[in-house]
Chains A and B, each alone.
Chain A
Amino acid sequence: AQSVTQPDIHITVSEGASLELRCNYSYGATPYLFWYVQSPGQGLQLLLKYFSGDTLVQGIKGFEAEFKRSQSSFNLRKPSVHWSDAAEYFCAVGITGTASKLTFGTGTRLQVTL
């Protein structure tokens, strides 16, 4: 079965600093990979996704992620964090051909200091 690990439960960065959130997955084939963001009391919003092709994917709000097959990783990055980026971030893996079954990581809560 597939699994997702987000090793950082909580990260604090200063506004304007760069950000990298880690995500490692376990899956036998090429996975579908996603990053979602959840603001307090809100639902989940898709930041970006990887299905195939270019391993560096661009998303909304200035986020990007890089798929590294050799490391089974899909880390999320942003060059300059804004205070409004404070939220919880979830990495998820989907099984090829099965749209409705996502496995989520436990999430990383991002705090931004001014």
Chain B
Amino acid sequence: NAGVTQTPKFQVLKTGQSMTLQCAQDMNHEYMSWYRQDPGMGLRLIHYSVGAGITDQGEVPNGYNVSRSTTEDFPLRLLSAAPSQTSVYFCASSYSRGPSYNEQFFGPGTRLTVL
């Protein structure tokens, strides 16, 4: 299994540009999430999904959009990039059945810089 994969690894955008960060998992996990990591702030939840066709907002959803058309993929869209969105973005996935499966597996991250 490849686990959780993210593309691209690095990206530089200009203010106002849009782009999509890709995330895919091959573990048949129901839950998928997006986090952003900023220095001194840990990881903060942006959006999450409990299954195909179902998404919800996390702690910092503004400026981001998500959809979940398949179990495997959970792309994160930046509608109009701003310098405040400069961050490292992590995608994660997990099962939903019972507490012993409540463990998230993280992708390697995408480092985004907005100029």
Contacts and interface: CB of A to CB of B under 8 A. Distances in A.
Contact of B102 (A4, A42, A99, A106): A99
A20 B49 CA distance: 35
B42 to A, nearest CB: 4
Nearest to A102: B104
Nearest to B91: A43
Interface residues of B, number: 30
B81 to A, nearest CB: 22
Contacts of B35: 104
A100 B50 contact: yes
Contacts, number: 68
A103 B48 CA distance: 13
A90 B94 CA distance: 18
A18 interface: no
Given A43-B109, A99-B96, A100-B48, A32 B102 contact: yes
Nearest to A42: B108
Closest 3 CB pairs of A and B: A100-B31, A104-B42, A100-B48
